[in-house]
Amino acid sequence: MRFKLTLNRTTKQRMLPMDYQYYVSAWIYKVLKQADQDFAQFLHEKGYGGQGETKLYKLFCFSRLNFGKPNLWKEKKLFEISAHEIGLQISFDVPEAATNFIKGLFMSQEFYLGDKFNGIDFKVSKVEALPEPDFTETMKYRLQTPWVVSYMTENDKYPQYLSPEDDMFEQRAIKHLVEKYNNTRDGEVISQEKIRFKRISDFKRAGFVMKPGTREETRVIGNLFEFELTAPVEINRMIWSAGVSEKSSSGFGWVERY
């Protein structure tokens, strides 16, 4: 389920860090925690890891900010934004019955987006629930934010981020989708054999800095491309509502229909 938020700048600040995704994710969690602690705890802690599984699956994703064409300050890694009205889409993998609940959480929220040096004050002026597409077993998508596929061995200090040209990319990408679905649903278990993935464009490596300015600062790398996915309809509905990627709650793996 997707929602379009209209954000209005409430002060004259215009500078926003280029790696703003971490701050968007932190703000969403803050809203959930303030409005419904049980819901936030569900997203944060349960995350539905399977037996022996240490990954935490989050049930939301979000788009890039839509602020037109900003001035780019490359050396300072900043966007200078002149638009007063900015768009953001957020999606939640929750039943339709939660529509009004979620709209109520975000409507009229006031928040600061950025670090201690640069950022912008916003107020949410409008929240719209967006219609879902007609889901079919075979669908084509365009990635708007990077699809992250990673792995670590016992000897790795940091994750290894795969490109679509790596032999393991498809296998690990499908494995993640199946685990994410099976560990967040009761009922029929879907096997990896029911999913077929085909990249239908060239790819571009891209990523975001997570927890910038802290000891935990890391750069997560993914890939942007267009692809076709053949899978049970519920898998397509899940990636529409919760992202296709690892780390979807940090803004990775947002897709649009192609």
Using the predicted structure, report yes or no on whether residue 94 has a pLDDT greater than 50.
yes
Question: 120 and 197 share a domain?
Answer: no
Res 95: pLDDT? 75
Question: 146 and 229 share a domain?
Answer: yes
Q: Rounded to whole angstroms, how far apart are CA atoms 251 and 138?
A: 24
Q: What percent of the chain has pLDDT over 70?
A: 90
Find all residues with CB under 8 Å of 105, minimum gap 6, and list them.
Answer: 31, 32, 35, 36
What is residue 224's three-state secondary structure?
strand
Residue 44 among the catalytic residues: yes
Q: Rounded to whole angstroms, how far apart are CA atoms 229 and 163?
A: 17
Question: 15 and 122 share a domain?
Answer: yes
Using the predicted structure, report yes or no on whether residue 183 has a pLDDT greater than 50.
yes
In the chain, % helix, strand, coil (3-state, to 5) comes to 25, 30, 40
Question: 108 and 218 share a domain?
Answer: no
Q: Return the amino acid letter for 9.
A: R
**Total structural domains in the chain?**
2
Domain boundary among 130, 149, 173: 130
CB count within 10 Å of CB 55 equals: 15
Question: 43 and 71 share a domain?
Answer: yes
Query: Per the structure block, which two tokens stand in for 156?
Result: 């790795």
What CATH number is given to the structural domain containing 70? 3.30.70.1890
Q: Rounded to whole angstroms, how far apart are CA atoms 196 and 149?
A: 16
Res 230: pLDDT? 97
In terms of Cα–Cα distance, which of 23, 35, 84 is closest to 213? 23
Query: Which of 22, 44, 84, 176 is the catalytic position?
Result: 44
Question: 31 and 144 share a domain?
Answer: no
Q: Rounded to whole angstroms, how far apart are CA atoms 148 and 257?
A: 19
Using the predicted structure, report yes or no on whether residue 223 has a pLDDT greater than 80.
yes
DSSP per-residue string spanning 177-227: HHHHHHTT-SSPPPPGGG-EEEE-S--EEEEEEESTTSTT-EEEEEEE-EE
Question: 82 and 148 share a domain?
Answer: no
Residue 151 among the catalytic residues: no
- Please give the torsion angle defined by the CA atoms of residues 65, 40, 245 and 107, in that order, rounded to the nearest 10 degrees: -30
Query: Per the structure block, which two tokens stand in for 12?
Result: 């004259």
Q: Rounded to whole angstroms, how far apart are CA atoms 175 and 193?
A: 10
State how far the alpha carbon of 58 is from the alpha carbons of 68, 96, 166, 194, in Å: 29, 18, 26, 23
Q: Phi and psi for 127 in degrees, rounded to 5?
A: -130, 120
Determine which helix (DSSP H) or strand (DSSP E) holds 110, and give its type and residue range. strand 110-114
Query: Which of 29, 84, 112, 258 is the catalytic position?
Result: 29
Question: 168 and 120 share a domain?
Answer: no
Question: 73 and 176 share a domain?
Answer: no
Question: 225 and 157 share a domain?
Answer: yes
Confidence of residue 222 (pLDDT cuts 50, 70, 90): very high
Question: 148 and 64 share a domain?
Answer: no
Q: Rounded to whole angstroms, how far apart are CA atoms 16 and 28?
A: 17
For residue 142, give its domain range.
138-257
Using the predicted structure, report yes or no on whether residue 45 has a pLDDT greater than 70.
no
Using the predicted structure, report yes or no on whether residue 55 has a pLDDT greater than 60.
no
Domain boundary among 130, 159, 186: 130
- Please give the torsion angle defined by the CA atoms of residues 249, 54, 148 and 197, in that order, rounded to the nearest 10 degrees: -110
Q: Mean per-residue pLDDT for 45-58? A: 46
Domain boundary among 91, 112, 130: 130
What CATH number is given to the structural domain containing 212? 3.30.70.1900
Question: 159 and 232 share a domain?
Answer: yes
